[in-house]
Chains A and B, each alone.
Chain A
Amino acid sequence: MERKINKVLVANRGVPAVRIMHTCRDRKIKTTAVYSTPDRLAQHVAMANIAVHIGDAPPGDSYLNIEKMINAALETKSDAVHPGWGFLAENDTFARKVIDAGLTWIGPPPGVIRSMGDKIEAKKIAVRANLPVIPGISNVAGAAEIKEWMEREKIDFPIMIKASASGGGKGMLKVEGEGQVPSALARVRSEGMKSFGDDKVLVEKYVERGRHIEVQVVADQYGHVLHLFERECTIQRRNQKIIEEAPSPTLDDDLRQEICFAAVRLMREIGYVSAGTVEFLFDSTSRKYYFLEVNTRLQVEHGITELVTGLDIVGIMLDVAMGKPLPFKQSDIHPNRWALEVRLNAEDPRTFNPSFGNITRLYSPQGPAVRISPGYYEGADIPPYYDSLIMLIMATGADREDAVRVMDRAISRNLRVEGVKTLAPLLLSIIRHPQFIAGEFSTRFIEERMDELVSKFIEKDSEDEMLKVARYVAEVSALGIPKWM
């Protein structure tokens, strides 16, 4: 059954909200922005056709508040809701209430979100679909149970403790020893409760030096499930991806086909609709892969798949939500280039401490083969309450080497952010590292080489140095001859 979408409420902020609004604008679909008090002048607000204030800074009062979201949609006569990623994106209650309010939900069915959002449930289904999974236990009650499991299964530290509803690097902790178990358990529970409203916990064996590979899947309401090939997201810090690429430099074609079809098999099994991702952990020594989880939403790194396939995934989500069948078959999908993405977070590149404040100057990278997915404009404030992503930078090339070259230029020659610290020096240092260039890395790449990476940070930049001179002139012009002179 086809239904029209005239106006989409984007239940998000920053980079994802702006991304979704771009496609809506392409489609001449109107957009409604929502904003919390500190976001009143944010870029997504300026970009939308209309904006609704939904509450104060804490996410619970605003971006996680289901009632306010739905009221905002109804008040503004929006007829669909796109949740973006993060916040309510994988909240099945929200999806259900959106649908119950007579609005179109741009995403998978609530039942699918619920079953996949529960890590414990998802693992069961994966086993049923014949996908390999990581050894672990679910519904953990306390430290004693973990100890017992480890003894029974002969598992050694480190282990991973995950909130059953974790995601985006939050609500999961790597634990190195028995002493840390109780506090880690408490913290994961608390973060799970705070971010996702669920304090169930599961524990898994930690796969050392694993690589993170995921398959982008799209499906329509008519049972067509296709994959758009894989992405590799191995470069992470604190379990959060910061560099992604497509295709994966690790997989050969046979393994690629195997993983991609395993993903399709699972998604078909659960009756998936819209865009989603099946994540795998790949052990490159044993060449084995394990099912990790299904992300029942648009992902941060979807853009590189768009670049290699030429498709617009947000556009596909809109079409699917309107009840249209997928207009292509699996055999029509031919990735024909390499794409790389870096997440430009406002963080200290040495400590990863968040660096919020005002972006006093922002020059976005430009030039051939670069795509920017922005979330902030020059002069905008980065509030301390939400995540630290300011911009996604993507680069493409005929092959990996080409794409890395373009990315190097984009970060080192075109990009300029003043007022807040960004990960740019670290990102550049990573993509210039011989092992990154050789494609040999694991999820621990950064933690194992942090000092080396930091030592390669470029110290001086001519623009920075020129501004120092200008600051001097400004001070002397305002204050007169310096006393020390």
Chain B
Amino acid sequence: MNSYIFVKPGMTAREIVERVRSLEGVCLTSTSMRDAGQSDYKNRLRLYDLQTLAPHYNAMGLFSAECHGGARWHVGIMNRRESPFEEIGVLRELMPQVLLQTLIRETNLWGYRPYPPNIIEYVVSKVDIDVWRCFSFLNDIRNMRKVAEVIMKRGKLFSPALCFTQADWATNTYYLGVVKEIVALCGGTEEIVLCIKDMAGVGSPQRIGGLVDAIKQRHPELVIQYHRHTTDGLAMPALLAAARAGAKILDVQEDSLARFYGQPPLLGVQAYLEEAGVAVHLNRQEAEAASQKIRQWIGHYQWAESPFRGFDYQVVRHRMPGGAFPSSFEQAEKGGFLYLMPEILTLMSLYNRIIHYFDVTPGSQITWVTCSGIVNRYMKERGVAGVRHILRLLTRFVEEAGQEMEALSQDEREELLTLFRTASGDFKNLLLGKYGKLPLGWPADWVYQSAFGEEWEKKIGERSERSPLDSLKDEDLNKQKNDLAAALDREPGEDELILYLMHPKDALDYLAFREVYGEAALVLPSDVWREGLQKPGSAVEFSFWGKPCSIGLVSVGDEHEGFIHVVMKVNNSTRVFAVGTPRAKKTEIRMAAGPKDVGAPINGNLWRIGNPERGSLKAGDIVHKGEEIANIEAMKMENAILAPFDGQIAEVCIRLNEVVREGQLLFVLEKAEEQGEH
């Protein structure tokens, strides 16, 4: 049953491209393992469940499985406690015939800051991925140079993405210019797949058909993949239009996983395209089985779905991408400004006509924070009338005045000149070129005046046209590694270092979780993972390191002094776990931290304060460097505590005959004051 497999890991990029070209009709990428979950389930779909699809994917004849990317990675370590490295490992084993695909944000890779070339080189070469889709929210192709170089040198398939939006300025001429840069960067069309990334789902069928056609006219050999969200409700015909115009690969997801903001349903797409006469390469039997499989576990994720579900054709104006749309409503609800959402969406549609870039990470966040910030500020300062006023003013400015400041009154001009004054640092960095150059050039001067006030001309002077890649200096990887080793108190693994490079704080948090809870995230079924065992007598069984494991709940005790005792049966042995509640009284042991602190070198019994010559010591006593100031006895061995420097005892922090812990604070010393010459 290998007949459907036409591309496999281990093939060269050229070979893969060749196979796709020679395929009749189109083939599919399933995004179920990344974008589907990101768009409709806040990236909460666990590897434990997703891996059940792998055996089906292994025979389905997909072009690739998109299973890896920035937000999946980040949410993975923060909220699912899964490592993207373990994930790749598991999927590789279960679907060795499937190309694994990631999505990276050019120099940011999977993180939130631009990385210098040496880190890009190190990280990219350590991540076992076959297809590397890469986008820039500015379509600034220069930013892709280093990743393209490393990926192509390693013989992996580079898939540069063209961020797509539908707007008067986003013409075929514009896109052909970007494609030209891509082709030049990649040395032709033989070893890449070009992705058209319609991340908000705004491309009308005709527009998409026209664009694909224009690109194919110019580059007949280029393999084009169309990635589209379904937010506007027009995904299916748009996919057909793309396929008819020559797109060879379409992004879809399992039907039973499809909701409103991800990719269109796979089985439906196949049926629709085939009826229209476009062959779709797919082992339908396996695809149906995969779709069925999802129903066994998708019920565990209802909690992760947004309450704000449903298509929204207005996306063509506000352009919020996939999962950002429902989550912005949730954020608004939490922040108490849900009623302002129509105004915010309207402002977004005006804003994106003033400043041109693509609404995808990090651009989409900049747009959201800026626009929701402005509306909220007006609401706070001037009430509903104020919000209506600014929208009226901006609408007139954009739609009637052709964005000419002269067409406005003096008051109106002054108002716009403060519109962006309180905008975020990210917004200001964008204007200064810190992310790269904007796709259609810099915004008008008044935007700078508005954002920077009197300094605006100076700021324009500082604005850079260079790619961040060119200004980033290589970083000391060893230093990062040592920092991590210090934080972990052990040598980090290569995977751990990369996790740390991408998200320093969250990676440490994740590694600390793993230290305590081990492989819980990998082996527990989703209900137990989320809610534990509900009833005494219930148990969860799984295979652990190749052997059966059974964890059963016997009883959960009442809270006592901040602890709940949970009795469990672990492989038939009774175990009692003392679980600290948030109210757990912390028996605070002060630990030595600062240079003035003298700590206990070992655990033991502090049997003497002071020394035999001068007797006991108290606060205020002067001690000399090297003088014994206390003695700890442990297992019949004496351990003298010596004064680290000449000084005065500021505080004695222990009592005689107290049992002390290693590192516990014993004394605080004050340095002896400098004695003058006499």
By a beta-carbon cutoff of 8 Å, the part of chain A in contact with chain B is: 59, 170, 183, 187, 190-191, 194-195, 238, 351, 353-356, 384-388, 462, 464-481, 484-485
Contacts and interface: CB of A to CB of B under 8 A. Distances in A.
Given A472-B517, A476-B528, A478-B566, 14 more contacts: A238-B637, A354-B603, A384-B603, A384-B635, A386-B635, A386-B636, A462-B547, A468-B516, A470-B570, A473-B520, A474-B532, A476-B529, A477-B534, A485-B530
Which one of B518, B528, B636 has the greatest number of beta carbons of chain A within 10 Å?
Answer: B636
A170 B602 contact: no
A473 B528 contact: yes
Nearest to B662: A353
A386 to B, nearest CB: 7
B357 to A, nearest CB: 32
Contacts of A468: 516-520
Given A170-B637, A466-B571, A480 B519 contact: no
Nearest to B642: A183
A386 B604 CA distance: 11
Interface string B542-553: 001101010101
Contact of B635 (A354, A477, A480): A354
Interface stretch (B89-97, B275-283, B446-454, B575-583): B575-583
A473 B531 CA distance: 8
Contacts of B579: 474-475, 478-479
B634 A191 contact: no
Contact of A477 (B533, B612, B636, B638): B533
Contacts of A469: 517-520, 523-524, 544, 549, 551
Interface in B637-660: 637-638, 640, 659
B79 A355 contact: no
B635 A387 contact: yes
A173 to B, nearest CB: 10
22 contacts: A191-B636, A195-B636, A354-B603, A354-B604, A384-B634, A385-B605, A465-B545, A467-B575, A468-B518, A469-B517, A469-B518, A469-B519, A469-B523, A469-B551, A473-B524, A474-B579, A475-B532, A475-B579, A476-B528, A476-B532, A477-B534, A479-B581
Contacts of A479: 564, 579, 581
A54 to B, nearest CB: 18
Contacts of B602: 351, 353-354
A170 B551 CA distance: 46
B326 to A, nearest CB: 19
Contacts of A465: 518-519, 544-545
Contact of B532 (A190, A355, A388, A477): A477
A484 B529 CA distance: 12
B366 interface: no
Contacts of B637: 170, 191, 238
A191 B640 CA distance: 12
Contacts of A464: 518
Nearest to A484: B79
B561 to A, nearest CB: 14
A281 B532 CA distance: 60
Contact of A170 (B540, B549, B568, B636): B636
A170 B633 CA distance: 12
B533 A473 contact: yes
Contacts of B604: 354, 384
A398 B637 CA distance: 38
A183 B640 contact: yes
Contacts of B566: 474-475, 477-478
Nearest to A468: B518
Contacts of A355: 603
Interface of B: 78-79, 516-520, 523-524, 528-534, 540, 544-545, 547, 549, 551, 553, 556, 564, 566, 568, 570-571, 575, 577, 579, 581, 602-605, 612, 634-638, 640, 659, 662
Contact of A471 (B516, B556, B612, B635): B516
A481 B528 CA distance: 10
A479 B638 CA distance: 44
A385 B636 CA distance: 7
Nearest to B535: A477
A96 B604 CA distance: 34
A190 B638 CA distance: 9
B375 to A, nearest CB: 30
Contact of B517 (A59, A356, A387, A471): A471
A468 B522 CA distance: 12
Nearest to A455: B491
A42 to B, nearest CB: 16
Contacts of B517: 468-469, 471-472
A67 B39 CA distance: 80
Contacts of A475: 532, 566, 577, 579
A481 B537 CA distance: 20
Given A386-B636, A469-B520, A479-B581, A474 B603 contact: no
Nearest to A188: B638
Nearest to B549: A466
Contacts of A386: 635-636
A478 B635 contact: no
B532 A470 contact: no
A187 B530 contact: no
A355 B661 CA distance: 10
Contacts of B659: 384
B568 A470 contact: yes
Contacts of B547: 462
Contacts of B577: 470-471, 474-475
Nearest to B545: A462
Contacts of B551: 469-470, 473
Given A469-B517, A469-B519, A388 B530 contact: no
B488 to A, nearest CB: 12
Contacts of B549: 466, 469
A238 B638 CA distance: 13
B544 A472 contact: no
A134 B553 CA distance: 64
A479 B575 CA distance: 18
A238 B635 CA distance: 13
A388 B553 contact: no
Nearest to B573: A361
A183 B627 CA distance: 10
Contacts of B635: 354, 384, 386-388
Nearest to B544: A466
A464 B659 CA distance: 28
B591 to A, nearest CB: 15
